[in-house]
Structure 1
Amino acid sequence: MLETYKSKFFEVLLLSTCVKILLIPAYHSTDFEVHRNWLAIAHSLPLNRWYYDDTNEWTLDYPPLFAYFEWLLAKVAQFVDPEMLQLHNSNYVSKRTKYFQRFSVIIMDVVYACGAWRMLKAFRTLHIRYQPITAEALLLLNVGLLFIDHIHFQYNGFLFGVLLLSISCLLEDRFLLGCTVFATLLNLKHIYLYMAPAFGVYLLKFYCLDSKRSTFTSVLKLTIAGLVPFAISFGPFWQHLPQILSRLFPFRRGLTHSYWAPNFWALYNTADKVVAKALNMSIAEKYTSGIVQNYEHSVLPSVRPLATFILTIAAMLPILIKLLCYTTKSESKITFLRSVVLCSLSSFLFGWHVHEKAILMSLIPFCFLFFVHAQDAKYAFLLSAAGYYSLFPLLFDSDLIVIRYSLYLAYMTFMDAQMLRFYKTPPIMNLWEDLYIDGFVLLPLYDHYTVALVFYTFLCVITCTP
């Protein structure tokens, strides 16, 4: 049984790798230049200048451990194309550079594969019936990671691999190792701080407050386990901490990103604009200008970082209270998984300057809840349909229309089919949910065909009219 399981996993992994290789020639975003510039910074400058360099707008704004990762990549890159490591060589894209950076993402996905493998192994200890091939496909062929990492260009798969490793450790009751791995993740990308409340509450209740252990000793061990990665990461920069923190938490970038994430603040901005227009007031265009900066709203109260923080914590509290006060040992691990999903989703809905890509922080862990209960599967499907579709504007190149819709529809069709196949009594969508899902099929048809058809018909009528 185990050998069959292994062979299926590696077959799916091989298939996903082939798909990623096929996507190498595709369009890439400005994030490609961002990471090329970080390679140049790490290679060209002494360590104490990394977080001060402002040669161009793509300044280093990830934690030091990720900067060390870029430094290691640069050691290899210098043998591939030294020109990519020139600090003033902005927007440099050679064939060698493109292949190097694309393959670096594919190779680092080995970490994601390891995380998925360990997580699936840990998941089996929960005695939950699930289909390995389905879980492997949902994870290794995840359409969001294909969009963001292998077309748009980032290293999210690598980071999610570390996340899955940390969760798997906690599911296997390896608390100290899980804490260390999660702390390592925070030093690679600090956005995962939004998941920290779920990890913190779980470790507090089931490790520190465990009656079989000394609370003081447990807290001390856990503190040391969590601080070691921070000491290694930030130690060489201890004299530059204020500068690093200003880069990691740039509150001057404004409430929303240039392309709004589909969250509460997108609705808030829209409501402000609609009300201002209805009242014939001048509209503050800054938040629709595509420029990343602070701005004031026209009618509704302007939002500050503290307000978003309070709302985010308030949204997290119900699941955290349940995890701390109302969860038994037998159900704790599933509740922990739900708390990871809900904490990240709370931050996506109410956080400050949220990027649209952050929805993956909820969708990747949600893949495991797909097998827990029919209602979990239903909500995973609904959120996936909306979340992956919301990434389309990042793939705006016209050559990607067929690719993005093909990958999206294939993934969602597979997910829907497996949901209906796995549950003897499939979760029933109500009328509004059915219409909501249908909208993701009808909207592209309207966007790409109906509008064009009306336009060209109108153009023909005008040109043919004497």
Structure 2
Amino acid sequence: MAAHGGAGRGAGLFLALAFGVTLLKLLLIPTYHSTDFEVHRNWLAVTHSLPVSRWYYEATSEWTLDYPPFFAWFEYGLSHVAKYFDKEMLVVQNLNYASHATVLFQRLSVIFSDVLFIYAVRECCRCINGKRGGKEPLETSPFVLAVLLLWNFGLLIVDHIHFQYNGFLSGFMLLSIARVFQKRHLTGAFLFAILLHFKHIYLYIAPAYGVYLLRSYCFTANNPDGSLRWRSFSFLRLVALGLIVCLVSALSLGPFIAWGQLPQVLSRLFPFKRGLCHAYWAPNFWAMYNALDKALSVIGLKYKFLDPAKMPKAAMTGGLVQEFQHAVLPSVTPVVSLACTAISMLPSVFCLWFKPQGPRGFLRCLVLCALSSFMFGWHVHEKAILLAILPLSLLAVERQRDAGIYLVLSTTGHLSLFPLLFTAPELPIKIFLMLLFTVYSFSALKAIFRREGPLINWLETIYLIGLIPLEIVCEIVFPFTTWMLKFPFLPLLLTSVYCAVGITYAWFKLYISVFTGPSVVRQKEE
């Protein structure tokens, strides 16, 4: 009876969290929305007004359809509800259309689709070890995880202010992870295959899925020492996994292959002409590389080491989306970016194969693959950091070392999203929500691991405190200086480079935890 009562209280608390965050999302409906709002309005119009064969050719708007077919069908389904709000939003020629009914519908569509995310969070909470930090039940690991995911600061501002559908997509990812933890491997693979055809950015974490499923599902019996023997390999299980991938891909891409449109679809999905970096540099290795190139070019011109006539224009800091050449350092091509990404992933993938640590080892590899792609990928968006922060939340509530890494990564990664909301009315909103989430993250995780020492060291503390003056300078001081007219990109550069240091540090520290983690025997005993 006591256990049943505890479960009932836990379910009630979870529903209260979900209801509370939904109310907050409703309150954010009138806030600023970015060009992504028009992107998705245009996709509603394209999928509703045109035959499928023209979806990936339509170019009336500059925001052409560049997500995989499942997301296009998702927009098509939404469009049949949208017509009851305002039919004019479904006219392809109505560029930048944003009536009150249109805004209301699109905001509500994001909130409604988050139902999948809420369910996935619930499933993830059932997969973790329920450590107690103190008081029952607000300091248990499942409750803390529910808050870290449902009230995630990044998802709130990116989806419900800036405007996107990351919560819906993250729901597929988290539900797939939960099924892997529950040893429902085929279901996990099926959900992930669907996710790839909703948004191809999840190719970042595909190596973790491929290696883990091959090792843990296709090999039916592992030896106590963790080694594998080919006689325990199940060819039927490999075929089952292959069929899932092929059938989902056929359902998604089949019509376009039949019409000979696959090259056109792929050209939309992988537009390499957009350049190495987004208009706002994502806080990764290339941000530091660009900053170094800029510094070297300034020094070279000042001391006349470089010829001004041969220098490219200051395009890397121009905030434009196109290909650029570096001034001093070697310019980076898509092939170089891909090679760096693959090389940075390999240690985690090899470790997952040769030093398995169960589902948690898979999850750690998944986070590392996401971070490696974020660090070295081509034209990475700053929002992609959520692909690492969200799954890392599951590890953070179970192990002290992971909790410390999470605090550094989430605090730095979330603050790096601040430039997305550059309008004055949203300044107090983003600061308040960031403080609320960060204070809770530190206090809740500290309560869980209060007997195991501090979560972050003095160096990490100093670095994180440095985010405060950085934000004050970039958001409050700089706009009132004359430098604003001369160097408008400077706040973005400072934010990106400073946050890149913290994200790189968290990436390295997570790698160290992988190589110094428990052995396979210990993991089985646990």
- Asked if Structure 1 and Structure 2 have the same fold, meaning a TM-score greater than 0.5 normalized by the shorter chain, the answer is yes
8 Å CA contact 1:284–1:296 kept in 2: the answer is no
Identity among equivalent positions (%) equals 45
Structure 2 equivalent of residue 459 of structure 1:
none
1:10-49 residue pairs with structure 2 within 5 A?
Answer: 10-49=15-54
Aligned-residue offset at 1:427: 2.8
Structure 1 equivalent of residue 333 of structure 2:
304
Structure 2 equivalent of residue 173 of structure 1:
183
Aligned-residue offset at 1:451: 5.2
The one-letter code sitting in structure 2 at the alignment partner of 1:379 is: I
Aligned match for 2:353, one of 317, 324, 342: 324
* Structure 2: unaligned runs, 5 residues or longer: 1-5, 133-139, 223-231, 483-526
The one-letter code sitting in structure 1 at the alignment partner of 2:321 is: V
Aligned-residue offset at 1:346: 0.4
Structure 2 equivalent of residue 397 of structure 1:
423
The 2-side partners of 1:104 and 1:95 are apart by 14
1:262-277 residue pairs with structure 2 within 5 A?
Answer: 262-277=283-298
Aligned-residue offset at 1:287: 1.9
Structure 2 equivalent of residue 151 of structure 1:
161
1:231 aligns with 2:231: no
Structure 1 equivalent of residue 472 of structure 2:
445
The one-letter code sitting in structure 1 at the alignment partner of 2:468 is: V
The 2-side partners of 1:188 and 1:128 are apart by 35
Aligned-residue offset at 1:283: 4.4
8 Å CA contact 1:17–1:106 kept in 2: the answer is yes
The one-letter code sitting in structure 1 at the alignment partner of 2:364 is: R
- Once the two structures are superposed, residues 252-275 of structure 1 have per-residue CA deviations (whole angstroms, 9 ceiling, x without a partner) of 110000111010001111111111
Equivalences, count: 450
- Once the two structures are superposed, residues 322-380 of structure 1 have per-residue CA deviations (whole angstroms, 9 ceiling, x without a partner) of 110112xxx31111111111110000000010000000000000111111211110110
| C-alpha spacing 1:449/1:214, structure 2 compared with 1 (3 Å) | closer
- Match of 1:287, SS? coil
The 2-side partners of 1:449 and 1:118 are apart by 42
8 Å CA contact 1:284–1:297 kept in 2: the answer is no
8 Å CA contact 2:141–2:398 kept in 1: the answer is no
1:418 aligns with 2:437: no
- Match of 1:259, SS? coil
| C-alpha spacing 1:259/1:453, structure 2 compared with 1 (3 Å) | closer
1:314-463 residue pairs with structure 2 within 5 A?
Answer: 314-327=343-356, 331-423=357-449, 424-450=451-477
| C-alpha spacing 1:454/1:195, structure 2 compared with 1 (3 Å) | closer
The 1-side partners of 2:114 and 2:471 are apart by 31
1:20-169 residue pairs with structure 2 within 5 A?
Answer: 20-124=25-129, 130-169=140-179
The 2-side partners of 1:189 and 1:142 are apart by 20
Greater RCO, CA 8 A, separation 6+ = 2
* Structure 1: unaligned runs, 5 residues or longer: 456-466
| C-alpha spacing 1:451/1:148, structure 2 compared with 1 (3 Å) | closer
| C-alpha spacing 1:279/1:453, structure 2 compared with 1 (3 Å) | closer
The 1-side partners of 2:470 and 2:288 are apart by 19
1:148-227 residue pairs with structure 2 within 5 A?
Answer: 148-211=158-221, 214-227=233-246
- Match of 1:354, SS? coil
- Once the two structures are superposed, residues 27-59 of structure 1 have per-residue CA deviations (whole angstroms, 9 ceiling, x without a partner) of 000000000000000011100000001101000
CA-atom RMSD in angstroms: 1.6
Aligned-residue offset at 1:444: 2.6
